[in-house]
Amino acid sequence: MATSITTTQSTRQYPLSRYDDRNIADPILRAALRKEVMLMCESNDKNLTIYYVLPDEQYRPDLLAYRMWGIAELRWVVTLAAGLEDESQGMTVGKKLKLPPATWIREMIRHFQYDGQVIGTLSIA
């Protein structure tokens, strides 16, 4: 099983969260994951959750992710769903976001982490 470790300027290393898109080493596959997430957020899938951006979340996609899923590391999904290029850009207060379930996100990360091989089901059931 592959594990991802992030190296910092010091000798200290820490494992990435399993919800971090940097678990996918190949930038092409990471871009494919991000494209799939954006397509899911733009779809009318019945499993999407509607969330409206609150004033204190305008510049805090991590706070929105924590409130939505209890997982601040999914801030990159919030940024994609909001249509932003960069996390430092502010989201529009009151904007309606359609966010996928954390289980679907994790399965997609696992799918692309192993070079796009099918390792299980991608359905939410």
DSSP annotation of 50 reads E
Do the Cβ atoms of 122 and 111 come closer than 8 Å?
yes
Question: What residues make up the domain containing 46?
Answer: 25-113
Helix (H, G, I), strand (E, B) or coil at 57: helix
Say if 79 falls within a structural domain.
yes
Task: With a cut of 80, say whether residue 125 has pLDDT above it.
Answer: no
Say if 15 falls within a structural domain.
no
Say if 19 falls within a structural domain.
no
* Spatial separation of the C-alpha atoms in residues 38 and 22, rounded to whole Å: 17
* Spatial separation of the C-alpha atoms in residues 76 and 17, rounded to whole Å: 13
Say if 6 falls within a structural domain.
no
Residues 44, 75, 121: CA angle, nearest 5 degrees: 50
**52 - beta bridge partners?**
96
* Number of structural domains found in the chain: 1
Tens digit of each residue's pLDDT (9 = 90 or more) over 76-110: 999 999 999 888 899 999 999 999 999 999 999 88
Tens digit of each residue's pLDDT (9 = 90 or more) over 20-78: 888 888 889 999 999 999 999 999 999 999 999 999 999 999 999 999 999 999 999 99
Q: Which amino acid is at 60?
A: R
CA dihedral 70, 77, 31, 92 (to 10 degrees): -160
Q: What are the angstrom distances between the C-alpha of 25 and each of 6, 43, 109, 121? A: 11, 27, 11, 22
Say if 31 falls within a structural domain.
yes
Say if 8 falls within a structural domain.
no
Say if 4 falls within a structural domain.
no
Say if 85 falls within a structural domain.
yes
Task: With a cut of 80, say whether residue 119 has pLDDT above it.
Answer: no
pLDDT for the residue numbered 2: 53
